[in-house]
Structure 1
Amino acid sequence: MTDRHELILTCPKGLEGLLLEEARQLGLEDAREQTAAIRGFGALEVAYRLCLWSRLANRVLLVISRFPTTTAETLYEGVRSVDWAEHLEPGGSLAVEFSGRGSGIDNTHFGALKVKDGIVDRLRTASGERPTVDKLNPDLRVHLRLDKGEAVLSLDLSGHSLHQRGYRLQQGAAPLKENLAAAVLIRAGWPRIAAEGGALTDPMCGVGTFLIEGAMIAADIAPNLKRERWGFSAWLGHVPALWHRLHDEAEARAAAGLARPPLWIRGYEADPRLIQPGRNNIERAGLGSWIRIYQGDVATFEPRPDQNQKGLVICNPPYGERLGDEASLLYLYQNLGERLRQACLGWEAGIFTAAPDLGKRMGIRSHKQYAFWNGALPCKLLLIKVELDQFVTDNRTAPPQPNAAPAPVEVARLSEGGQMFANRLQKNLRLLGKWARREGIECYRLYDADMPEYAVAVDLYRDWVHVQEYAPPRSIDPDKAQARLLDALAAIPQALGVPRKKVVVKRRERQSGTRQYERQAAQGQFLEVIEGGVKLLVNLTDYLDTGLFLDHRPLRLRIQREAAGKRFLNLFCYTATATVHAAKGGARSTTSVDLSRTYLDWARRNLSLNGFSDRQRLEQADVMEWLAADRGEYDLIFIDPPTFSNSKRMEGVFDVQRDHAALLDLAMARLAAGGTLYFSNNFRKFELDLSIAERYAVEEISAATLDEDFRRNPKIHRAWRLQAR
């Protein structure tokens, strides 16, 4: 067997250039790039060094044959012609990986089967002994790739992928592979910074991958030093003496590196569930004396050990998976930018992100960007020098909240459109704020797509802001719509003087079935607000709606004024806010009907919060079926049905346009003499059935049920007052 081998190193897409440089330093000759791979030549010692020291490769493949192939049979014969006795005992085990297609082979499983047959048939002994297949821990892992009519047959010296260093047995939700983390650190200049004695910190460290890879680079530790089983361990061409010499050298270098005073390497993680797994990973890597992890979020992250220490801030911020994550991500990036400007002057930073547009919101310019792939996800590494001349900020103060005087803060400069949006919010706040304070209203709509370019609804719930983004029409460029949303989200805290953590964002789209009532998150945080002298619970995070329809405020207050001594019925009651108002107004009894147990539990809490527990009946049922069976009599009825519902708990489908006449007839049959029924819905194209006015006294009261905050949007709902003739 020759002492000069063709070697192929595979790697994640985008790492080819870095791997080429690393491989040349480790002795690979005549090296050149391929797609997601490097090809070159070297002695077996070079192959071993690459296995032990490559921080970037996935696999080290040793090519044993190249041959043309046009059919499955020529492929089989080409594999069989190799002297496999040089590589594997007849009673050994193997695994075959096959890639590419052509030469009559379009199925990788079939291709792998033909390669396996060629090896087994060559090694089969007269007694029938032959290699077995072991996909997990074979004696020999064989790889064949079809490339434009040529078969490239290789031995996988690495065994399992080299990114699996062995220290990370516990990980977070979306971890970076170790070799990608190492590549990001190298691109960010960490080897240079570490050689100068610089510090390393990750303000969103997860389970510590960046920190561990960074410490191994700084301490000169071979990334695969602790791996016990290799692809060459049972290979007949393996030279143990050569391998042990190289391994001993690596162990000596690691011992010398760890004996030096450790660099300052610190991680911070907001999720307390990841702290111990991160510390466990650090201990398994043998770096407990080099790395510390603390619990803390980005807003409180303080990286500097002292005023003179400089170094690298590295992080991979999370990316959103739910509708509404835009706000939390925007504010996360803004908080990160603020901490860099305030606490890391003179440092360098590397932000690895799948959302580079959010990186622009940090308030610091990046001087260089590199493209990477995290699996199938395109990403960028933004390199930043944290210097004053790179800041993109204004030293302005956010406007104070009513009755509050926040300290001046440095805020990011808004775009021209963002500033226009902020100006509109402040104008609306001056006008509506006076009205709300005069009327004692804590929750109201401040903005409702007043500017068509910024299609959001902004509601105030005391000192919280609830933002709903209307899904843009298909004619709008999604990138432009996203940029405008980010402009609006950046403007809201500054314009209203609220902390970013008190801004909640959701996307309102055309709903099907009961999706608007389904849980979107599970934070379980309720806020107590006051309306018309009653206390109500709202949840701003877990559902598309909050538990309180702000546009129905006038109707609820009307019910409160008219409820004294009456039997009140609330159909499709949701969280029964109208029922609480009726009880506050002195209703003799209340009955509230809804199909959702979740919302009836919420209704029960609303009633209990106000001390109303007697004479308050809650019914879990399909409204149409319940009305058909009920024989009660009611003096005041309120109906605010969904536009459409196909709940699993009901038979059939409810459609407000199609079914409202039948619904009203059933409800009017339960209305006492002289009683009143209020009917409302928010289906924009709704038309009241003409026959309803023939049977009952009907008055449309839509205009009278709109307060100041909804007069800009008179189509938010329509409402009618019905009585018996």
Structure 2
Amino acid sequence: MTDCHELILTCPKGLEGLLLEEAKELGLEEAREQTAAIRGFGNMEVAYRLCLWSRLANRVLLVIERFATVNAETLYEGVHQVGWAEHLAATGSLAVEFSGHGSGIDNTHFGALKVKDAIVDRLRTATGERPSVDKLNPDLRIHLRLDRGQAVLSLDLSGHSLHQRGYRLQQGAAPLKENLAAAVLIRAGWPRIAAAGGALTDPMCGVGTFLVEGAMMAADIAPNLRRERWGFSAWLGHVPALWNRLHAEAQARAEAGMTRPPLWIRGYEADPRLIQPAKNNIERAGLAGWIRVYQGDVATFEPRPDQHQKGLVICNPPYGERLGDEASLVYLYQNLGERLRQACLGWEAAVLTSAPDLGKRMGIRSHKQYAFWNGALPCKLLLIKVELDQFVTGQRAATAESKSEEKPVAELARLSEGGQMFANRLQKNLKTLGKWARKQGIQCYRLYDADMPEYALAIDLYGDWVHVQEYAPPRSIDPEKAQARLYDALGAIPQALGIPQDRVVVKRRERQSGTRQYERQATQGTFVEVTEGDVKLLVNLTDYLDTGLFLDHRPMRQRIAREAAGKRFLNLYCYTATATVHAAKGGARSTTSVDLSKTYLDWARRNLALNGLSDRQRLEQADVMAWLEEDRGEYDLIFIDPPTFSNSKRMEGVFDVQRDHVTLLDLAMARLAAGGTLYFSNNFRKFVLDPGVAERYTVEEITGATLDEDFRRNSKIHRAWKLQAR
């Protein structure tokens, strides 16, 4: 075997440039970048150093052959002609990884099988001994890359991926791989800061990956020093004496590094469940004397050990995948920016984010940005110098004012111009509608409904909770501008309304989205008790696009409550039966509520029980149209608020309110007692009541009378009619 080998180092996408610099420093010659890899040349000492010291590579591959191939047979021959006896004993074990396609080989499993067969056939002895396959811990791991008719055959010197350092046996929900964390630290300038004695802190440290990688760099610890098994451990070309010397040198450097006074490295994590796993990982890395981890959220973390210490704040904020996460992320970035401005003046900061627009919510300019990939997710690394001249307009004054007693003024000063305008509108609406709501004893009402066209939101108050729905913007609106306006609005809401940030829930929806508004979007299962007059109701602000309470029907529910005394009440498409609760509270002799959804009927049952109304309240799970055809009951007061469209798997056929409303009303009117009243409402904006209905019944449109002050600006929210027999 030659003294100089072609070496290929693989890495996550986006790390090629950094890995190239690192590999050159470790002795790789003629190095150049490839996609998610670099290629160069070096002797075995260089190969071993790369395995031991590379913080960025996934694997170190030693190329043993390159050859042209046109089909499976030439692939087999090319692998078979290699002198495998120099690499593996006939009694050894191997694993084959195959990548790429072409030359008639489009299945990687088939390609790997041909490579394995060629090696085994070459090493098979006269007595029949041959290597076995061991996919987990083989003596030799072979890699073949097929690219445009050329096969690159390599030995994997690393074994398991080099990012698996061995200390992180416990991890959080969305951890960074260790080599990506190291790359972020390097891009952020941590080696330079550490050399100058600087501090390192992560205010969202999770299980401590940034902290451990940073401490290993500062203490001059080879990232793979503690690895016991390597891809070359059982390779016949392995040079133990050379490896042992290099490993001993690395061990001596680590021991010397650990004798130096430790740098100030601290982590803070809001989730108490991650504190012990983080401490365990730090202990396994042998860095318990260097790193401390505390429980605390980003709004309260204190990174500064003393007034003179400077350093690096680094973090990878959560990405947000659940319904309603956008609001919490906006506030998270705002709080991070506030802490940087207040407590980290003169420090540097690095924020790895999958949503760069959220980075703008910190109120500090980034002087550099780098592209990274966290798996398949594109990210940006924002590098920030926490200096006054980097603060966004208004932030400098806000920081100064925050030290005074006038904190609310400082809070509002941090809003953008658009955010301030939006806050002003909310405060104006709150002043007028809030006074009306208090006078009427109303706790839940719509505060804002796209009053300003550029802020296409519906904002509802549920006691001390805010429920925000973003209407999908028209295609003519730039999505980035729409997103920025949403963030402006979310930043303004807590400040303008004086409501805690963790009580703002945001959802995105399209107007009139059919039955999708009833579909479950999350599974938090958190219910909030609210009041409407003398009625108690349960709402769920997180799990569905709608909350369980249609605010625009408040006047209709109140009307039903006034008219229900002594009557038999029927609620069709009852949803969570809020109208039924009002009817029962109003003295209804009996109530019957019909809906197809077991989930909503269970919710209805809880609403009734909450008001002590379990008796004489009948709940029916059924398709309303089919139920009406079979029911022979008689009712004095009927309320129907059907969906625009429904095609549930449980019902026969499809319900369309425009097409089917005449049949629905005829069936319901047949169940109406003499002198009774039926109220019909729907929110399909193009709905037209069939003229034949007015020919058979006394019909009065009452839409205007069923809109309260909070929906006067959106008079098309629903339409309503009163029907009686002639």
Range of TM-score over shorter length: over 0.9
Looking at structure 1, the residues matched to 154 and 524 of structure 2 have their Cα atoms a distance apart, in angstroms, of 52
Instruction: Quote the residue 1:401 is aligned against.
Output: none
Looking at structure 1, the residues matched to 544 and 672 of structure 2 have their Cα atoms a distance apart, in angstroms, of 33
Instruction: Quote the residue 1:499 is aligned against.
Output: 500
Deviation of residue 349 (structure 1)?
A: 0.9
Distance change >3 Å, CA 424–CA 134, structure 1 → 2: same
- 2:23–2:50 Cα contact (<8 Å) kept: yes
Looking at structure 1, the residues matched to 556 and 461 of structure 2 have their Cα atoms a distance apart, in angstroms, of 19
Distance change >3 Å, CA 281–CA 411, structure 1 → 2: farther
439-448 vs 379-388, greater mean Cα deviation: 439-448
Deviation of residue 611 (structure 1)?
A: 3.4
Instruction: Quote the residue 1:230 is aligned against.
Output: 230
Query: Is 1:165 paired with 2:141?
Result: no
- 1:551–1:710 Cα contact (<8 Å) kept: yes
TM score, norm. by length of structure 2: 0.94
AA aligned to 2:671 is: R
- 2:471–2:511 Cα contact (<8 Å) kept: no
Instruction: Quote the residue 1:51 is aligned against.
Output: 51
Q: After the TM superposition, which residues 218-367 of structure 1 pair with which residues of structure 2 at under 5 Å, given as runs?
A: 218-367=218-367
Q: After the TM superposition, which residues 51-450 of structure 1 pair with which residues of structure 2 at under 5 Å, given as runs?
A: 51-392=51-392, 394=394, 407-411=408-412, 413-450=414-451
Structure 2: gaps (5+ residues): 400-405
How far does the alpha carbon of each residue in 1:500-539 deviate from its partner, in whole angstroms, 9 at most, with x for none? 2222111113676643223322333333323233222222
How far does the alpha carbon of each residue in 1:137-189 deviate from its partner, in whole angstroms, 9 at most, with x for none? 22111222234443322111001111111222222222111100110011111
Looking at structure 1, the residues matched to 360 and 552 of structure 2 have their Cα atoms a distance apart, in angstroms, of 37
Q: After the TM superposition, which residues 507-518 of structure 1 pair with which residues of structure 2 at under 5 Å, given as runs?
A: 507-509=508-510, 514-518=515-519
AA aligned to 1:47 is: A
SS of 2:261's equivalent in the other structure is coil
Distance change >3 Å, CA 282–CA 428, structure 1 → 2: same
Instruction: Quote the residue 2:402 is aligned against.
Output: none
Looking at structure 1, the residues matched to 526 and 367 of structure 2 have their Cα atoms a distance apart, in angstroms, of 41
AA aligned to 2:683 is: N
Looking at structure 1, the residues matched to 546 and 294 of structure 2 have their Cα atoms a distance apart, in angstroms, of 36
Looking at structure 1, the residues matched to 672 and 358 of structure 2 have their Cα atoms a distance apart, in angstroms, of 56
Instruction: Quote the residue 1:573 is aligned against.
Output: 574
- 1:19–1:56 Cα contact (<8 Å) kept: yes
Looking at structure 1, the residues matched to 224 and 544 of structure 2 have their Cα atoms a distance apart, in angstroms, of 47
- 1:393–1:412 Cα contact (<8 Å) kept: no
- 1:219–1:257 Cα contact (<8 Å) kept: yes
Instruction: Quote the residue 2:714 is aligned against.
Output: 713
Instruction: Quote the residue 1:17 is aligned against.
Output: 17
Instruction: Quote the residue 1:471 is aligned against.
Output: 472
- Structure 1 vs Structure 2: percent identity of aligned residues? 87
- 2:323–2:522 Cα contact (<8 Å) kept: no
SS of 2:458's equivalent in the other structure is strand
Looking at structure 2, the residues matched to 463 and 291 of structure 1 have their Cα atoms a distance apart, in angstroms, of 40
Q: After the TM superposition, which residues 605-644 of structure 1 pair with which residues of structure 2 at under 5 Å, given as runs?
A: 605-644=606-645
Looking at structure 2, the residues matched to 109 and 608 of structure 1 have their Cα atoms a distance apart, in angstroms, of 60
Deviation of residue 597 (structure 1)?
A: 3.0
Distance change >3 Å, CA 387–CA 166, structure 1 → 2: same
Looking at structure 2, the residues matched to 72 and 585 of structure 1 have their Cα atoms a distance apart, in angstroms, of 82
679-688 vs 142-151, greater mean Cα deviation: 142-151
Structure 1: gaps (5+ residues): 399-404
Between Structure 1 and Structure 2, how many residues are aligned? Answer: 719
387-396 vs 342-351, greater mean Cα deviation: 387-396
- 1:393–1:411 Cα contact (<8 Å) kept: no
Looking at structure 1, the residues matched to 237 and 407 of structure 2 have their Cα atoms a distance apart, in angstroms, of 72
Looking at structure 1, the residues matched to 299 and 8 of structure 2 have their Cα atoms a distance apart, in angstroms, of 45
Deviation of residue 664 (structure 1)?
A: 1.9
- 1:513–1:646 Cα contact (<8 Å) kept: no
AA aligned to 1:105 is: I
Deviation of residue 205 (structure 1)?
A: 1.5
Looking at structure 1, the residues matched to 393 and 343 of structure 2 have their Cα atoms a distance apart, in angstroms, of 15
Looking at structure 1, the residues matched to 171 and 346 of structure 2 have their Cα atoms a distance apart, in angstroms, of 32
- 2:124–2:130 Cα contact (<8 Å) kept: yes
- 1:262–1:290 Cα contact (<8 Å) kept: yes
12-21 vs 471-480, greater mean Cα deviation: 471-480
Deviation of residue 93 (structure 1)?
A: 1.8
Looking at structure 2, the residues matched to 620 and 719 of structure 1 have their Cα atoms a distance apart, in angstroms, of 25
SS of 2:299's equivalent in the other structure is helix
- 1:23–1:54 Cα contact (<8 Å) kept: yes
Instruction: Quote the residue 1:451 is aligned against.
Output: 452
Looking at structure 2, the residues matched to 712 and 512 of structure 1 have their Cα atoms a distance apart, in angstroms, of 21
AA aligned to 2:239 is: V
Distance change >3 Å, CA 586–CA 526, structure 1 → 2: same
Instruction: Quote the residue 1:723 is aligned against.
Output: 724
Instruction: Quote the residue 1:402 is aligned against.
Output: none
- 2:702–2:721 Cα contact (<8 Å) kept: yes
AA aligned to 1:632 is: G
- 2:52–2:223 Cα contact (<8 Å) kept: yes
How far does the alpha carbon of each residue in 1:52-89 deviate from its partner, in whole angstroms, 9 at most, with x for none? 11110011111222233344433333322221111111
SS of 2:163's equivalent in the other structure is coil
SS of 1:17's equivalent in the other structure is helix
How far does the alpha carbon of each residue in 1:677-717 deviate from its partner, in whole angstroms, 9 at most, with x for none? 11111111222233222222111111111112212211111
Looking at structure 1, the residues matched to 565 and 171 of structure 2 have their Cα atoms a distance apart, in angstroms, of 60
Deviation of residue 346 (structure 1)?
A: 2.0
Deviation of residue 323 (structure 1)?
A: 4.2
SS of 1:299's equivalent in the other structure is coil
How far does the alpha carbon of each residue in 1:595-614 deviate from its partner, in whole angstroms, 9 at most, with x for none? 33332333233333333343
Aligned CA RMSD, in angstroms, stands at 2.3
603-612 vs 356-365, greater mean Cα deviation: 603-612
Instruction: Quote the residue 1:527 is aligned against.
Output: 528
AA aligned to 1:689 is: D
- 1:65–1:154 Cα contact (<8 Å) kept: yes
Distance change >3 Å, CA 70–CA 397, structure 1 → 2: closer
SS of 2:78's equivalent in the other structure is helix
Distance change >3 Å, CA 257–CA 406, structure 1 → 2: closer
SS of 2:340's equivalent in the other structure is helix
Deviation of residue 331 (structure 1)?
A: 1.5
- 1:512–1:644 Cα contact (<8 Å) kept: no
317-326 vs 69-78, greater mean Cα deviation: 69-78
- 1:393–1:410 Cα contact (<8 Å) kept: no
Looking at structure 2, the residues matched to 590 and 648 of structure 1 have their Cα atoms a distance apart, in angstroms, of 27
AA aligned to 1:154 is: S
Deviation of residue 353 (structure 1)?
A: 0.7
Looking at structure 2, the residues matched to 577 and 44 of structure 1 have their Cα atoms a distance apart, in angstroms, of 76
Looking at structure 1, the residues matched to 315 and 710 of structure 2 have their Cα atoms a distance apart, in angstroms, of 42
Looking at structure 1, the residues matched to 623 and 137 of structure 2 have their Cα atoms a distance apart, in angstroms, of 58
AA aligned to 1:592 is: S
SS of 2:22's equivalent in the other structure is helix
AA aligned to 1:429 is: L
Distance change >3 Å, CA 577–CA 104, structure 1 → 2: closer
- 1:49–1:246 Cα contact (<8 Å) kept: yes
AA aligned to 1:472 is: P
697-706 vs 95-104, greater mean Cα deviation: 95-104
SS of 1:697's equivalent in the other structure is strand
Distance change >3 Å, CA 103–CA 195, structure 1 → 2: same
Looking at structure 2, the residues matched to 172 and 581 of structure 1 have their Cα atoms a distance apart, in angstroms, of 46
- 1:394–1:410 Cα contact (<8 Å) kept: no
Looking at structure 2, the residues matched to 289 and 516 of structure 1 have their Cα atoms a distance apart, in angstroms, of 53
Looking at structure 2, the residues matched to 149 and 615 of structure 1 have their Cα atoms a distance apart, in angstroms, of 79
Deviation of residue 102 (structure 1)?
A: 3.5
